[in-house]
Amino acid sequence: MKTTIGFEEALRARNLKVTPQRMLLLGEVSRLGHVGIDELYEKVKTVSPSVSLATIYKNVNLLVEEGVMKEVPIEGRKSVYEIDRGDHIHFVCRTCGFVEDFNTDSDELCAMFTERYGRQIDGFGITLSGHCSKCRQ
């Protein structure tokens, strides 16, 4: 589990200032796992009501560009965001939209796809779908 200290380091390493808004935002994304802009804004506001939506947008865009967070685009829904911890793919529940991480080995998968399609593959986004335990029954 990534700690709050880890985020401070990540910010400093990129010459970004460690502000309360950023730490709160990163903490919520980390805690929730995957979260859309609206939900993130709501959660952040419950802790610190003065934080503005503009700050959420500015920071999400910035942190995605800087590689601290990652956008997870989903068919038929709005994108959600996560802390970039690398090497995993996503499982989305067809019914409720809940997103889970599945561990994977990126290099292995890239190699597999590169061989299978005869083209150099250096990245991928994989979103599997099915039903989560709650919606399965």
| Member of 10, 22, 26, 90 binding DNA (CB under 7 A) | 22
* CA 26/CA 30 separation, integer angstroms: 6
121 scored as a contact of a second copy (CB under 8 A): yes
Contacts (Cβ under 8 Å, ≥6 apart) of 56: 25, 37, 40, 41, 44
Nearest-5° angle of CA 76, CA 44, CA 48?
Answer: 160
Q: Which stretch binds DNA (CB under 7 A): 51-59, 69-77, 91-99, 129-137?
A: 51-59
Q: Is 111 in the site for a second copy (CB under 8 A)?
A: no
Among positions 33, 73, 85, 111, the unique one binding a second copy when judged by CB under 8 A: 73
The answer to whether residue 86 forms part of the interface with a second copy (CB under 8 A) is: no
